[in-house]
């Protein structure tokens, strides 16, 4: 099978759909849909974000944010949060009818409808020729009881999470387990 060159593209799959929630300076809730981020250490996340976003400004002011996993029951709202700019539409969160409460740990909102939320404080902000990056320390993880298994662990099949497709700008539901990490490839260790 021949490989065909597609040039320079940000083509990785899957890309997470992360919902970054912050408070604006006036206390309003701001939520942004973001795919260019993820776990960078056991207790840290990295957000590669454009500095001109309202969310970036809020993070710099409050030094805190939450990250939620987007789920398919809230796909339309999640997509809207990535389409509308809080720099131009200050009431974008209120328009969707979702609910937020203040985190007990950080100065950021927890969006009630999303099944899992990481409460983060800013560890460092990096700005260089490669862009603007926020590294956050995870201080706590909140999960809805209905996504937990009988042992109290998150069951990915109950999350109804979806991922972003950079190739055709699609969203794809995930959840089917097809293997076990650190076990499925053990035959090659012999």
Report yes or no on 4 lying in a domain: no
3-state secondary structure of 92: helix
Domain-embedded: residue 41: yes
Mean pLDDT of 52-79: 97
Q: What is the domain-level CATH number for residue 97? A: 2.30.110.10
Say whether pLDDT at 190 is over 90.
no
Nearest in space to 86 (alpha carbons), one of 112, 109, 104: 109
d(CA 97, CA 99): 7
Instruction: List, for residues 17-58, the tens digit of each pLDDT value.
Output: 999 999 999 999 999 999 999 999 999 999 999 999 999 999
Q: Is pLDDT at 59 greater than 90 in this prediction?
A: yes
Domain that holds residue 105: 15-189
Q: Is residue 101 part of a domain?
A: yes
Question: Is 10 a domain residue?
Answer: no
Establish if 144 belongs to a structural domain: yes
State how many domains the chain has.
Answer: 1
Indicate whether 112 belongs to any domain.
yes
1 lies in some domain: no
* 176-189 pLDDT per residue, tens: 888 989 999 999 88
Could you write out the DSSP letters of every residue in 37-86? EEEEETTEEEEEE-TTSHHHHHHHHHSEEEEEE-BGGGHHHHHHHHHS-T
Asked if residue 180 belongs to a domain, the reply is: yes
């Amino acid at each position: 099978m021949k490989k065909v060159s597609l040039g320079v593209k940000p083509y990785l799959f899957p890309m997470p759909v992360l919902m970054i929630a912050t408070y604006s300076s006036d206390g309003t809730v701001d939520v942004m849909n973001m795919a260019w981020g993820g776990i960078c250490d056991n207790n840290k996340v990295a957000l590669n974000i454009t500095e001109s976003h309202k969310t970036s400004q809020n993070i710099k002011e409050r030094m805190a944010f939450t990250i939620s996993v987007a789920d398919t029951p809230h796909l339309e709202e999640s997509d809207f949060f990535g389409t509308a700019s809080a720099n131009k539409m200050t009431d974008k969160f209120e328009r969707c009818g979702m609910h937020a409460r203040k985190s007990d740990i950080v100065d950021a909102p927890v969006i009630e409808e999303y099944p899992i939320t990481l409460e983060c404080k800013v560890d460092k902000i990096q700005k260089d020729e490669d862009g603007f990056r926020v590294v956050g320390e995870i201080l706590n993880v909140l999960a809805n009881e209905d996504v937990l298994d009988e042992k109290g662990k998150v069951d990915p099949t109950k999350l109804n999470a979806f991922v972003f497709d950079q190739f055709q700008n699609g969203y794809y539901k995930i959840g089917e387990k097809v293997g076990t990490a650190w076990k499925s490839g053990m035959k090659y260790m012999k």
